[in-house]
A and B are shown apart, each in its own frame.
Chain A
Amino acid sequence: MITVACYNIKGGVGKTAAAVNLAYLAAQGGANTLVWDLDPQGAASFYFRIKPRIKGGSFSLFQRKRRLDDVIKATDYPRLDLVPADFSYRNMDLLLEQQRKPGTRLKKLIKPLRSEYHFLFLDCAPSISLVSENIFAAADVLLVPTIPTTLSLRTLKQLQDFCAAGDYAHLTVIPFFSMVDRRKSLHREIVDNRSGLLEATPRTYIPYASEVEQMGTRRAPLDTYAHASWAARAYRDMWQELQPRLLARRRAG
């Protein structure tokens, strides 16, 4: 199993859209895929029309009273399952702190699923905390949607420094451009002249598009209702670019 965390310290950058759409494409391609909606706001669960609730809440999961296996829900798409969000996730930091080895609880929880799923996408809440440390420890790849602005790049730099400084040498950080608006000259300039931090970014970028926003009313992955749109094509191209890199990551690890 390859664990991909869609993560950014900032919110509203297209994390959930990336997790949902890329997971959908992975499953369509034949891979058994799981999405874990770790954001207490439950946007991914909402997109899949699944109630953002876990029996016993996250407490039962982290107290080892319930296995992750028991709370998985099938989505409406073949090979694609979801661990729903739960409002109690907002207190996950507190919960984790009470555990032994609090930094690797998440990793322990997903371990039994390794042989069943080929991809696990973690849709992470924006923040940098004990939860993020758990995510970094559990993930193989950190997929970072990045809006091409100066501030976003600064945050990305912080994130990369943090990963390099901690015990996360196993982690591959892949930033990609998200919500790109080509009418804005700054966006154009950053996307077209990648250097330094951004050299490893996929060629494809996700445009700022109303079709993506419509996921909220359609409550379905983009490809199912706007297959021909620019944004849907961008996600498909992105997945084409990412998949070999993720598979290479599996072989290395």
Chain B
Amino acid sequence: MQKPTIYPLLRADKLDHWHHRLSDDLKLDSDAVQRFEVTYYDSFDWRLYAAGKSLQCLRGPHGSETRLVELSDQSVTASLVVDVAEARFASSLPDSALRTRLEPLLEMRALLPLVTLKVVRYCLRQEDAEGKTRARLYLESFSRVDGAGQRRLLQKRLRLQPLRGYQKAADGLRRKLERRHELEATDDQLFAQALTAAGKQAGDYSSSPAIDLQPGMRADAAVRRVLSELFATMKANEAGVIADLDSEFLHDFRVAVRRTRSALGELKRVFPPATLQRFRREFAWLGSLTGNVRDLDVYLLKFDTYKSAIPAGLREDLEPLRAFLRYKQHAEHTQQLAPQLRGSRYRKLKQQWQRFLDAPLAKRPTARDAAKPVGLVAHHRTWRVYKRVLKEGAAITPESPHPELHELRKSCKKLRYLMEFFQSLYPPKGIRAAIKELKQLQGNLGDFQDADVQIAALKGFAMEMRRRGEYTAATGKAIDALLAVLQSRLHQVRAEFESRFELFASDTNQARFKRLFHPQEEADVA
């Protein structure tokens, strides 16, 4: 579609008056008036918006159509005669160009409605002697129905839509509209206006928000800011977790909980010990509460990959496992997770945590590091954890038992969180490079942990399926095949560990971390 020209009309303008005026003056033909609704969709983390696109579902008396639109020029990249509300995920759309375009953008994220507008559209067109349309004009009004059922007008406009290969006809109409009817073109603001009217802000969610700190800030103030951001992330995801809209709400929620726990553990000299202990216990509870569902989510997300890793003849026999996992995920969610997140323990935690975060800073804090500059504390703590990682890693031999690798993985995670909390205190290039190096090592340790946990879990699932009578010989064979795949994966990543760690602990890398975190005035802090 060619880029349209938009002329705003006055709110008081009557579209049918304009319709008569324009069709008489410009000798245009008209088609029937269209009345329909358009609903805009995106994922919770605005993936389509970030890719410069919007998904619109048009619902009218003649059915529904879903369109993927480029925000820059309003051109339609793909569309499908389908109501997107029937498919929460891109992967559940019928095989089509629309699905092909949406799947890689959205992945596992659900499509959520942003705002719905009611549209009235008068259609005019200019025809040539052969009866071929050469340009189209639309008189449109958009209104939004608010929560109270009140219809509120957003805008009225005239849209000149050029047709491909007929630019001259559109140019002619444009000249006439601007000269004879004194119309002035503007940018298309509809999507932005609609979002504002619905109280939404495009791109307002990110799972890892940037936290801007200054090195001279008091450590307790700085860490509270970090914790407040993490708390905001938890609250933003809470409703999506309870409704189980998609797996990523819980993922982001859990990451925020884990980061909070890590901050409370690693920065313990910043806050009074009694306060810390209470919150550490409560956040640990929240961590374990969310663990089971997340593990099952991960299993389900990886299921297709698992399925394709076992011999083709066994693949379909793995499906009962998927059904079992779905059932179990649903049961855990509805019986444990959701009720607890609606319950009083979580509510109290939130209230107390908010009070703690909002409380004024103590003038003479009791905690040792509270009033120290955050730059110094960050240096010191990060350096300590970094040294711990090096020590634990160096102690691991090919014969070391699995728990030692898991401990190292946890230390790495703590190091990573500290580096991310205090990222803004360091030269961007240097800290990004250090995080990248750490990520490489974490990748290996994470894969090892995943395989290890999944092997244990899979054995448990098999037993449970047997108890429930959902276990056939064929499914048993498929599960054994999957176990073999996971075992060989476990051995493979374990074998890679030594070389990965060697890279991480190389002299260049050690110098890199030393440059960033080595505390020059260690005596002051320790």
Give A residues with C-beta under 8 Å from B.
28-32, 48-51, 71-74, 76, 79, 81, 118, 219, 244, 247
**A72 and B78 in contact, given A30-B65, A30-B96 (Cβ under 8 angstroms):** no
Interchain CB contact under 8 A, B164 and A28: no
Per-position 1/0 for B435-467, Cβ under 8 A of A: 000000000000000000000000000000000
Docked-complex contact B81 and A30, CB < 8 angstroms: yes
Interface stretch of the complex, out of B102-110, B126-134, B477-485: B126-134
Q: Is the CB of B65 within 8 A of A49?
A: no
Q: List chain B residues, Cβ under 8 A from A50.
A: 130, 132
Pairwise interchain contact B81-A29, C-beta atoms closer than 8 A = yes
In the bound complex, residues from chain B placing their C-beta under 8 Å from that of A72 are 164-165
**B310 interface hit (Cβ, 8 Å):** no
Q: 30 interchain pairs (CB within 8 A)? A: A30-B66, A30-B78, A30-B80, A30-B81, A30-B82, A30-B96, A30-B97, A30-B98, A31-B96, A31-B97, A32-B76, A32-B78, A32-B97, A48-B132, A49-B128, A49-B130, A49-B132, A51-B130, A72-B164, A72-B165, A73-B163, A73-B164, A74-B163, A74-B165, A76-B133, A79-B79, A81-B164, A118-B78, A118-B97, A219-B130
- Cβ of B191 within 8 Å of any chain A Cβ, yes or no, is no
State the 10 A-B residue pairs at the shortest beta-carbon distance, nearest first: A73-B165, A74-B163, A49-B132, A30-B80, A30-B79, A74-B164, A49-B130, A118-B97, A76-B133, A30-B81
Question: Chain B residues with Cβ under 8 A from A79's Cβ?
Answer: 76, 79
A188 CB to nearest chain B CB (Å): 35
Partner of B81, one of A28, A49, A76: A28
Interface membership of chain B positions 78-96, coded 1 if the CB is closer than 8 angstroms to chain A and 0 otherwise:
1111100000000000011
- Residues from chain A with a CB closer than 8 A to the CB of B128 are 49
**Bitwise interface map of B from 183 to 211 toward A, beta carbon under 8 Å scored 1, else 0:** 00000000000000000000000000000
Give the residues in chain A near B327, CB-CB below 8 Å: none
Task: Known A-B contacts: A30-B98, A50-B132, A79-B76. Give 5 more (CB < 8 A).
Answer: A30-B96, A74-B164, A79-B79, A81-B165, A219-B131
Task: Name the CB-closest residue of B to A119.
Answer: B97
Residues of chain A within 8 A of B130, CB atoms compared: 49-51, 219
**Nearest B residue (CB) for A81:** B164
A to B contact number (C-beta, < 8 Å): 50
A29 engages B80 (CB within 8 Å)? yes
Q: In the complex, A73 Cα to B165 Cα: how many Å?
A: 4
B166 interfacial by beta-carbon distance below 8 Å: yes
Interface pair B166/A74, CB less than 8 Å apart: yes
Q: Which of B147-203 contact A (CB under 8 A)?
A: 163-166
Footprint of A on B, CB under 8 Å? Answer: 65-66, 76, 78-82, 95-98, 128, 130-133, 163-166
The reply to whether A71 and B165 form a contact with Cβ atoms under 8 Å apart is yes
- What residues of B have a CB within 8 angstroms of the CB of A74 in the complex? 163-166
Q: How far is the CA of A73 from the CA of B131 in the complex (A)?
A: 15
Q: Report yes or no: A76 in contact with B78, Cβ–Cβ below 8 A.
A: no
Complex: chain B residue closest to A248, CB-CB: B95
Most buried by B among A28, A51, A118: A118
Give bound CA distance, A76 to B80, whole Å.
Answer: 19
In the bound complex, CA of A245 to CA of B436 (Å):
45
A81 CA / B75 CA spacing, docked (Å)? 14
Least distance between B136 CB and chain A CB atoms (Å): 10
Residue of B nearest to A31 (CB): B97
Cα distance A31–B163 in the bound complex, in angstroms: 17
Instruction: State A72–B132 Cα separation when bound (angstroms).
Output: 15
* Chain A residue nearest to B95 in the complex (CB): A247
Residue of A nearest to B130 (CB): A49
Q: Which residues of A contact B97 (CB under 8 A)?
A: 30-32, 118
In the assembled complex, the CB of B249 is this many whole angstroms from the nearest CB of chain A, namely 30
Which residues on the A side are within 8 Å of B96 (C-beta)?
30-31, 247
Interface centre among B80, B81, B96, B132 (most CB of A within 10 A): B132
* Minimal beta-carbon separation of A67 from chain B (angstroms): 13
Distance A160 CA – B79 CA, assembled complex (angstroms): 35
- Which residue of chain B is the closest to A76 with respect to CB atoms? B133
* Cα separation A118 to B80 with both chains bound (whole Å): 12
A212 to B132, CA, bound (A): 20
A141 to chain B, nearest CB (A): 16
A81 to B80, CA, bound (A): 17
Closest chain B residue to A115 by CB distance? B77
Q: Which residues of B contact A48 (CB under 8 A)?
A: 132
Query: Which residue of B has the minimal Cβ distance to A77?
Result: B133
* Chain A residues with CB under 8 A of B133: 76
Q: For the complex, what is the distance from the CA of A199 to the CA of B163, rounded to whole Å?
A: 42
Chain B residues near A81 (CB-CB < 8 A): 164-165
B131 vs chain A, min Cβ distance (A): 6
A49 surroundings in chain B (CB, below 8 A): 128, 130-132
Complex Cα–Cα for A51 and B131 (A): 11
Name the CB-closest residue of A to B98: A30
Chain A residues with CB below 8 A from B165, complex form? 71-74, 81
Instruction: List, in ascending order, chain B residues with CB within 8 A of A28's CB.
Output: 81
A48 CA to B163 CA in the complex, in Å?
14
When distances are taken between beta carbons in the complex, the residues of chain A under 8 Å from B80 are 29-30
- Distance in angstroms between the alpha carbons of A95 and B83 in the assembled complex: 48
Shortest distance in angstroms between A57's beta carbon and chain B's nearest beta carbon?
16
List, in ascending order, chain B residues with CB within 8 A of A73's CB: 163-166
What residue of chain A has the Cβ atom nearest to residue B161's Cβ? A74
A30: chain B residues at CB < 8 Å are: 65-66, 78-82, 96-98
State A51–B130 Cα separation when bound (angstroms). Answer: 9
Taken together as a complex, chains A and B put the C-alpha atoms of A244 and B95 apart, in Å, by 9
Closest beta carbon of chain B to A240's beta carbon, Å:
12
Q: Provide the bound-state CA to CA distance between A74 and B135, in Å.
A: 10
Closest to B163 in A: A74
